[in-house]
Structure 1
């Protein structure tokens, strides 16, 4: 397999970069969507069961089925892959964001308002920083999950290492079938570990010592 990778090093790196870029972009969009929805849910507690149900049910939808439903709307290519991966990326982050925001001590929020902070300022300076460690845990789970889903998205010509996995499966019994599938799988695992370490470092840089303690 080493010789196989050396001969295809450039393509492997390109596929790896595209895979990581797709996942990072999807998780970024998913984080924005999830946090925005969580803010709404915490303002309207009656929506919490709905948010929990959507998170639970959404994760049970097979990724290939969702991709198939998206095809008539977005067609083959990166758009369908990004929409599908973003959908799955949002769900665990949403659940954690709701829990994190609900876990903020109400007395701190009231104190901030008493000091004259507006609602948006209270959210940005008090609620989100305190909820950030819980939200980040959801982001880490989301990123790991999306690594595998992004590979499946290659079925509709999405970018990334999944293309090699499908090529290997299509050439079962061929000379390089195992090398294609195995190298892509190992590459995805390595990428997942690297990005998880980077998220851990991000958490240490963006979480105050008081909150970590």
Structure 2
């Protein structure tokens, strides 16, 4: 059976799995991004803490995702819970480093000028430093999103939602009917999700980054 025939006969199922995969990736990247920015805001003014945070976020990315997922199954069981926690953890890592670097790279002269006109420390953070750091933070979010869309496939190992079930079911049945089509369809749809998310983030950058910072 051809790939096209396989897709035509399973449109509703594929749409549902694609939605699950995209929704899981979006939610975990959102949670990871918020957590990462909060952590960055807490440490960026402390040189040692900032350096340790950036280093730790990079080292954390070397943790095998499947191993972390397996460890989370013990306290959280199978399904959505361990999948969400694992993905949110990895989603935060690229953003933390970029957020800290972006906040620390704001020119001191701008901060002093903001203080000179009477802005509080909090207002300087939200009206000067975060907007200046946003292009760097957004780059981290783009990297995080592409990574998470791909990693989300492995949550099928713990009965998590998404397109990973197509890929692993297909690979486990190689040589059988529709096995190759199943794996290829899952892979192609994951790539499509990644491309759509990246295009949306590029658009977000164009809408939110001032021309002078591009």
TM value normalised by structure 2: 0.96
How many residue pairs get aligned? The number is 212
CA distance in 1, matches of 2:51, 2:204: 31
- Give the 5 Å matches for 1:59-98: 59-98=61-100
Counterpart of 2:52 in structure 1 is 50
- Give the 5 Å matches for 1:6-155: 6-155=8-157
**TM-superposed deviation, 1:169:** 1.7
**Comparing 38-47 and 91-100, the one that deviates more:** 38-47
CA distance in 2, matches of 1:106, 1:150: 40
Unaligned runs of 5+ in 2: none
Secondary structure of 2:61's aligned partner: helix
Note if contact 2:83-2:155 (Cα within 8 Å) is conserved in structure 1: yes
Which one of the candidate residues 169, 180, 183 is aligned to 1:181?
A: 183
**TM-superposed deviation, 1:53:** 2.5
TM value normalised by structure 1: 0.96
Counterpart of 1:166 in structure 2 is 168
Q: Please list every run of at least 4 consecutive aligned residues from structure 1 whose deviation after the TM superposition is greater than 3 angstroms.
A: none
Unaligned runs of 5+ in 1: none
Counterpart of 1:208 in structure 2 is 210
**Comparing 167-176 and 45-54, the one that deviates more:** 45-54
Over the aligned positions, Cα root-mean-square deviation in angstroms equals: 1.0
Note if contact 2:83-2:160 (Cα within 8 Å) is conserved in structure 1: yes
Note if contact 2:54-2:100 (Cα within 8 Å) is conserved in structure 1: no
Task: Please give the per-residue CA displacement for 1:72-116, whole angstroms capped at 9, x wherever unaligned.
Answer: 111111111111111111111111111111111111112112222
**TM-superposed deviation, 1:148:** 1.2
CA distance in 2, matches of 1:104, 1:85: 30
Does 2:188 match 1:193? no
CA distance in 2, matches of 1:11, 1:115: 58
